[in-house]
Amino acid sequence: MERVVRHFEEELATLQERLLAMGGLAEERVREAVHGLSRREPDVVARVLVGDEPVNDLHIEIDDRCFKLLALHQPMAADLRVIVAAVKINTDLERVGDLAVNIAEASQRYLQHAPVKPLIDIPRMGEIAQTMLRDSLDAFVRRDIELAEAVLAEDDKLDALKTQIFRELLTYMLQDAATIEAALDLILVSRHLERIGDHATNIAEDVIFMVSARDVRHQGGDAASAQG
Amino acid sequence: MERVVRHFEEELATLQERLLAMGGLAEERVREAVHGLSRREPDVVARVLVGDEPVNDLHIEIDDRCFKLLALHQPMAADLRVIVAAVKINTDLERVGDLAVNIAEASQRYLQHAPVKPLIDIPRMGEIAQTMLRDSLDAFVRRDIELAEAVLAEDDKLDALKTQIFRELLTYMLQDAATIEAALDLILVSRHLERIGDHATNIAEDVIFMVSARDVRHQGGDAASAQG
């Protein structure tokens, strides 16, 4: 029994390590996509477009690890909550990887046009989304409810920036039809970044449930975003 | 032991029933949102905006059921795969409920403008997305791999329609700046509908894994959508 328990703890530690690795990878791809866009570097953007495989491989590996932990060790209570949280976080991180590709796609199109404006708010959104992602995973590993709650609070900033970007770009589009196509792509990028924040929020909510067995979802209409 | 097994089977049946109920509810809300938009009925749209609670309540209830089934019965192999699939499907259905709200938000704004064009492709997208959702859940309950694979095949139709809608609306926007705001909302609706198809695709993939223990995700670059 001693050996089995030890083995379980080791497996659980490895699972967390792999989730962190996946989070780091997904975050890095978001960073690259946004940098490629804001610094107008098509090569960087192109790299994000084709580099989804490591994230997808980790997605399958982590799912498999969770499944084996559930099947072989039949964990109870707290350990069970950690593994179910890991299943969900894994899904969220995989979607973040997809969204990095979506950002790169829109960026690739955007870079074929003249710049609509200097990009300030979009890199800002990128930084907030990356920080939220990193903090939510730190909160998972450290079982840190306060940090998880701080992540939830950050999401409003992303929503506000997204709405601001939308209004500003709409003004450009209305004034000059030549900006429409490019402005549309920036609007899409801002929405992809907002969704990355939503995934970090999901992770933070899972952490709060995992640590406290308290369900903070669906308190105060999280469903709707302002510019849906 | 006999009693415990029986109890487990009953609980599993109830879990599936509740997931189907949630799927039906989410699908109905998507239908209402799209009808409200295409028939220009603001009251119907407004109803979708405030009616998210039953879906959210089911989300928490189903998560709780999955957790209890895992904790109390420590299921193995096939049963374990069903419950892990249920955890994931539950998340997908909750997002579909959110997307119905997002469609209603964009529709509410759209209905404040003159119609850009008669809506044909968007109701068509709505129907495809709803059918995909229904079929993916039927495939889950019936353990029907063929039906799940048919759902995966439908996703290309949604992508094609989304791209077509985007191109057409871009033409309107370029020709007449007065259509820009309204056209933007239609583009957003088409993207929300495409994401509902993505969730049905996720469910179908989970069903295939659940039945066959074969992982069909990440085969052939599912990450990127054409107009991301």
Domain membership of residue B113 (yes or no) is: yes
pLDDT for res A227: 40
pLDDT for res A221: 44
pTM, 2 dp = 0.90
Domain membership of residue B99 (yes or no) is: yes
Closest chain B C-alpha to A145 CA, distance in angstroms: 20
Averaged pLDDT, B174-199? 96
Contacts of A59 in chain B (CB under 8 A): 217-218
> Does the CB of A220 have a partner CB in chain B at under 8 Å?
no
Domain membership of residue B217 (yes or no) is: no
pLDDT for res A76: 83
The token pair at A34 is 């946004």
Domain membership of residue A107 (yes or no) is: yes
pLDDT at A228 over 90: no
Query: What pLDDT, in 10s, does the model give residues B9-65?
Result: 999 999 999 999 999 999 999 999 999 999 999 999 999 999 999 999 999 999 999
Nearest-CB residue to B80 (from A71, A91, A102): A71
Q: Answer for the pair A139, A206: CB distance below 8 angstroms, yes or no.
A: no
Whether the ipTM is more than 0.95: the answer is no
> Does the CB of A192 have a partner CB in chain B at under 8 Å?
yes
Those of residues 93-122 in A touching chain B at CB distance below 8 A are: 97-98, 101-103, 105-106
The token pair at A29 is 């791809």
Domain membership of residue B118 (yes or no) is: yes
- E strands of chain A, at which residues? none
Domain membership of residue A54 (yes or no) is: yes
> Does the CB of A171 have a partner CB in chain B at under 8 Å?
no
Domain membership of residue A59 (yes or no) is: yes
Query: What pLDDT, in 10s, does the model give residues A6-20?
Result: 689 999 999 999 999
pLDDT for res B1: 52
Q: Which residue, A145, A96, A120, A133, is CA-closest to A39?
A: A120
CATH label of the domain that carries residue A178:
1.20.58.220
Closest residue in chain B to residue A218, using alpha carbons only: B56
Look at B228 and A188 and tell me if their CB atoms are within 8 Å.
yes
What is the tally of structural domains in chain A? 1
User: How would residue B73 be classed by pLDDT, with cut points 50, 70 and 90?
Assistant: confident
Domain membership of residue A228 (yes or no) is: no
Domain that holds residue B187: 2-212
Look at B173 and A187 and tell me if their CB atoms are within 8 Å.
no
Closest chain A C-alpha to B105 CA, distance in angstroms: 6
User: How would residue A225 be classed by pLDDT, with cut points 50, 70 and 90?
Assistant: very low
Helices A53-73, A77-110: axis angle to 10 degrees equals 170
pLDDT at B222 over 90: no
User: A225 or B147: whose pLDDT is higher?
Assistant: B147
pLDDT for res B213: 77
